[in-house]
Amino acid sequence: MTVETNPPCPPHYPPVQIAPDTFVIQATQGEGAGPVAVHLNAMVIRGPEPIIVDTGVPGLRERYLGDMWSLVDPDDVRWVFLSHDDVDHYGNIGAVMEACPNATLLTSWFQWERLGNLPEIAPNRMRWLETESKFEANGRTYVTMRPPLFDSPTTRGLFDTATGVFWASDCFATMVPHALADVSDLPEESWIEGCYAQAQQLSPWLTMTDPASYHAEVDRVARLGMTTIASCHSPTIGAGHIDRAFQMLHDVRTAPPIPVPGQELLDQIIAAGELALAVTS
């Protein structure tokens, strides 16, 4: 007999408002299956021209779409911003674009190429933006800016010049016990250690960089003047923690390696799956 050991479906968390008309769509991976989890967030900006920022994983499609449409009418959505070409960011792009007939996909040539030319989305429904491009919507300017840490060459963050919110894509990722609205809900030591661990996995090239060039890039992004940082894999970083977050980016380059989960965690996940099966049998 084959024993199913799929991890349990993580709990559903409601969207969290982080700035005027700006909401994080919360989801997690690993919650209930191991000692730690990671966020798998997306974002919605309301206004005359609503913007969806990243689209989540396919496995939780109905949750993402339900949360998005609780905030905006899909017929009103005008822009869908794709930060890069990993499945936890583009996973529901086809469903979102189908549901939003008036939306334009903000992507780039390289994203388009790496995603097989997105055959389900007509080219006239796209706009290609490179790093440090600008576009106007909702009566203000949005700026694409690559965060200092990334795992895909197509990565661009999105800065809202009106609210000061910066969508940092995968940068500032950390591990959490469960979904959290803000990093202030984590002990600082746990938050920073989680950031180190995730950064070392996300950007293994970090120690190969020229120190002066890397630190200058961190400072350049910090000078955007952001008031809030949202990202796929972190609770929101509010104004009181932004300086510490950027100091973490400076420090992680020389931080001691953080051990990564190994077979022990896999054994826990398998055991949790078998226990769940036994309880429901």
Q: Give a three-class secondary structure readout of 196-222.
A: HHHHHHHCCCHHHCCHHHHHHHHHHHH
Question: Would you state the pLDDT for residue 77?
Answer: 98
Question: Would you state the pLDDT for residue 150?
Answer: 96
Residue in the block written with tokens 């339900």: 66
Residue 5 has pLDDT above 80, yes or no: no
- For residue 46, count CB atoms less than 10 angstroms from its CB and return exposed for 0-12, middle for 13-18, buried for 19 or more: middle
> What are φ and ψ of residue 32, in 5° steps?
90, -10
Residues 142, 133: contact at Cβ < 8 Å? no
Strand ranges inside 108-171, DSSP E: 126-128, 134-137, 140-145, 157-160, 165-167
- The mean pLDDT of 100-127, rounded to a whole number, is 97
Per residue in 177-235, pLDDT (tens digit) is 999 999 999 999 999 999 999 999 999 999 999 999 999 999 999 999 999 999 999 99
Per residue in 82-99, pLDDT (tens digit) is 999 999 999 999 999 999
Per residue in 233-251, pLDDT (tens digit) is 999 999 999 999 999 999 9
Question: Would you state the pLDDT for residue 260?
Answer: 79
The whole-chain average pLDDT of the chain stands at: 92
Residue 67 has pLDDT above 90, yes or no: yes
**DSSP characters over 8-22:** PPPPP---EEEETTE
Residue in the block written with tokens 């008309």: 21
Domains of the chain from N-terminus onward: 16-280 (3.60.15.10)
Per-residue pLDDT band at 6 (split at 50, 70, 90): low
Residues 92, 120: contact at Cβ < 8 Å? no
Helices (H), the chain: 61-71, 87-90, 93-99, 109-114, 188-202, 211-222, 242-252, 263-280
CB atoms within 10 A of CB 89: 26
- The DSSP symbol for 260 reads P
- The DSSP symbol for 37 reads B
Question: Would you state the pLDDT for residue 281?
Answer: 47
Q: Give the whole-angstrom CA distance, residue 219 versus residue 207.
A: 18
Residue 10 has pLDDT above 90, yes or no: no
- For residue 243, count CB atoms less than 10 angstroms from its CB and return exposed for 0-12, middle for 13-18, buried for 19 or more: exposed
